[in-house]
Structure 1
Amino acid sequence: MSPFEIVAVLLAGVAAGTINTVVGSGTLITFPTLLAFGVPPVTANVSNTIGLVPGSISGAVGYRRELEGQRSRVLRLSVASLLGGTAGAVLLLVLPAGAFEAIVPVLIVLGLVLVVFQSRISAWVARQHEATGGLPHHGTWWVWPAVFVTGVYGGYFGAAQGVLLMAVMGIGIAETLQRLNAVKNVLAAIVNAVAGLIFAVVADVDWWVVLLIGIGSVIGGQLGATVGRRLPGTVLRVVIVLVGLVALAVFLLT
């Protein structure tokens, strides 16, 4: 990799780590960056997933105060994320590369739609909290399977996994959004870790990419946990949407 590419991938990792901690769509930054530098789609996806594991852990540590009193909830939902992330990683490996290349634009569009409408989703989640007080500590019955499905999606690709988790938990669990965001960071870390472990053993991994994204995402995870919540959500959404559109253009023109 050239010095320019090294710096670009490192900075993309910082941005992804920050955004994943605060919003949950960092893959829409790192993935198209890797594609722009000629990394094959599947290799870019698996290397990106492994590289973002340290950042996910960093973000979870940064939110440790919001995790207090949620041990049983986190443990229960972690099982769903572990199983879902495993299933998603296996799907990525067993499906032909052509299928992945056909599905990625759809996944990016889905991620962009979720990001664009995130403020409306958050407002709706807040109204649900007001209207459905007294939910069980672990949430309604469908929260666990919904977290599992989100884990499958995260293990397969991962863009906007955090937004999906926040929508699921925000509707089904009576808790503040900041505390749910702390849980989201733990669950995303589990999905990335189990998928990354599988990819490291059997997939084609670019370890230089993993190292650069890993270092950047750790820094970004701490930034997201400390100052990310003060950044205007609109600015983050605009950046993610623009990068996502670049990714779509790359897929459609190559």
Structure 2
Amino acid sequence: MGYCGPKYTYEATNVEILILFAAGLLAGALNSLAGGGSFVIFPALLFVGVPPIMANATNTYACLPGYGSGAIGFWQDILRHKDKLLVYSIIALVAGFLGAEALLRVSDAQFEGLIPWLMLFAVVAFTFGGQFNQWMANRRTTSKNGARTGAIVTTVFLALICFYGGFFNAGLGIILLAYLVLAGYQDLNAMNGLKLLISFLVSITAVVRFSMSGSIEWQAGTIALIGATIGGFAAAKLSYLLPASSIRNFVVVYGFGLTVYFFYTTYFA
């Protein structure tokens, strides 16, 4: 079973091309500096008229190259944990595909009702992810029985996170960092690399499933993708000009404002 929404053909106007490209630029810059780029691309796609499920699938496609290029940048750090890569890859590919499949089994109207709650979850995860990671790090157990139970719990946790990532991409990175802390990682470079690799695998299997069902708006997504690629590269070069904490605070305020907007338009407008 695939995407059940209406057949949709999109032709961007010049103004919409500018909107999508600008959204991509900003999203790419935010992802390089602090994260939260999906909070820009996804609503921009909705704003130009892409239906909700297609906008969500297209957002996953637009974010894909950033995950891949980031993982390549951390490849040497990732390889220090190559004993985990096969298991992580299988979980990411299977659970990501199942998450994408689940998305394609709901209607646009049903998904519209979920958007405010998904946004709220993603923004809360983004806002309090650091504190949550520290809380879990302080409660890791090293006993034999605790380690065995912890391994089972973390595996299930990773599968649920990857399922979420296939269903709704926003906030995936920070939730993966929480998983990696729970799994016992301490090297920040390795954690960032594994986070990006798992995000890439989740996203690529979701994009494959979405493309099979015709639920990606390729023109709009590619415009945003190009903008995100340029914005991410430029922001990385200029990152020393702006403190990451200020960028992060902007994302938090913007994300919560956007969430309030979605709640209002879904339930009160």
Establish whether TM, by shorter chain, passes 0.5. yes
Aligned to 1:80: 91
Instruction: Tell whether the 8 Å contact from 2:129 to 2:175 is kept in structure 1 after alignment.
Output: no
Structure 2 unaligned regions, length at least 5: 1-11
After superposition, what is the alpha-carbon deviation per residue over 1:195-238, rounded to whole angstroms, capped at 9, x for unaligned? 11111111332211121122233334545766669842342242
1:52-96 per-position Cα deviation (integer Å, ceiling 9, x unaligned) = 212211221222243231222233211111111111100011122
Name 1:116's counterpart in structure 2: 127
Instruction: Tell me the amino acid that sits aligned with residue 211 of structure 1.
Output: T
1:242 aligns with 2:254: yes
Counterpart amino acid of 1:176?
D
**Correspondent of 1:233 among 245, 257, 262:** 245
Instruction: Kindly report structure 1 stretches of 4+ aligned residues shifted beyond 6 Å.
Output: 133-136, 224-227
Quickly say closer, same or farther: Cα 1:26–1:141, change in 2 above 3 A: same
1:93-242 correspondence to structure 2 within 5 Å: 93-125=104-136, 127=138, 140-222=151-233, 231-242=243-254
* TM-score after normalising by structure 1: 0.85
- State the superposition RMSD in angstroms: 2.9
1:13 Cα deviation (Å)? 2.1
Q: Indicate how the Cα distance of structure 1 residues 46 and 198 shifts in structure 2: closer, same or farther if over 3 A, else same.
A: same
Q: Is the 8 A contact 1:17 1:221 kept in 2?
A: yes
For the pair 1:32 / 2:48, whether they are aligned, the reply is: no
Name the larger-Rg structure.
Answer: 2
TM-score by length of 2: 0.80
Deviates more, 1:215-224 or 1:72-81: 215-224
Deviations 1:90-144 (A, max 9, x none): 0011122222111111010011111221332243355457x759998xx833222
Aligned length: 251
Mapped contact 2:99–2:162 kept (Cα < 8 A): yes
Change beyond 3 A, Cα 1:250–1:80 = same
Contact 1:31 1:45 in 2 (8 A): yes
Q: Would you say the 8 A contact 1:25–1:163 is kept in 2? A: no
Could you tell me which amino acid in structure 1 is paired with residue 61 of structure 2? Answer: I
- Whether contact under 8 Å (1:59, 1:224) holds in the other structure is no
